Amino acid sequence: MPSGPRSALVTGVGRRRSIGAALALGLAGDGWDLGLSYWTPYDDRLGYERTPADPEAVAAQCRALGRRVVLLPGDLADVATPARLVDAAVSELGTLSALVMSHGESVDSSILTTSVQSWDRHFAVNARAVWLLVKAFAEQLPAGPVAPGEVQGRIVALTSDHTAGNTPYGASKGALDRIVVAAATELADRGVRANVINPGPIDTGWMTDEIRAMGVAETPAGRLGTGRDTADLVRFLLSDEGSWINGQLLHSNGGFNTG
pLDDT digits (tens, 9 = 90+) for 76-107: 999 999 999 999 999 999 999 999 999 999 99
Which of 160, 186, 193 minimizes the C-alpha distance to 175? Answer: 160
pLDDT of residue 253: 82
Q: Is the pLDDT of residue 17 over 70?
A: yes
Mean pLDDT, the chain, rounded, equals 92
pLDDT digits (tens, 9 = 90+) for 143-189: 878 999 999 999 999 999 878 888 999 999 999 999 999 999 999 99
> pLDDT tier at 258 (50, 70, 90 boundaries)?
low
Q: What is the DSSP string of 103-167?
A: ------B-TTT--HHHHHHHHIIIIIHHHHHHHHHHHTSPPSPPPTT---EEEEEE-----TTBH
Tell me what the mean pLDDT of segment 203-231 comes to: 80
Longest dimension (CA), the chain: 52
Which of 57, 56, 52, 63 minimizes the C-alpha distance to 27? Answer: 63
Which of 29, 1, 59, 6 minimizes the C-alpha distance to 231? Answer: 29
pLDDT of residue 5: 55
The H-or-E segment that residue 92 falls in is helix 81-93
pLDDT digits (tens, 9 = 90+) for 19-52: 999 999 999 999 999 999 999 999 888 878 888 8
pLDDT of residue 101: 98
Name the 3-class secondary structure at 30.
coil
Which tops the pLDDT comparison, 207 or 128?
A: 128
Which tops the pLDDT comparison, 44 or 219?
A: 44
Q: Is the pLDDT of residue 1 over 50?
A: no
Q: What is the DSSP string of 172-211?
A: HHHHHHHHHHHHHHHTGGGTEEEEEEE---B-SS---HHH
> pLDDT tier at 2 (50, 70, 90 boundaries)?
very low
Count the Cβ atoms, other than its own, within 10 Å of residue 163: 12
CA distances (Å), origin 245, targets 6, 7, 151: 19, 20, 12
pLDDT of residue 211: 78
- Which amino acid, one-letter code, is at 31? G
pLDDT of residue 259: 47
CATH number of 7-251: 3.40.50.720
pLDDT of residue 184: 98
pLDDT of residue 151: 96
Q: Is the pLDDT of residue 135 over 90?
A: yes
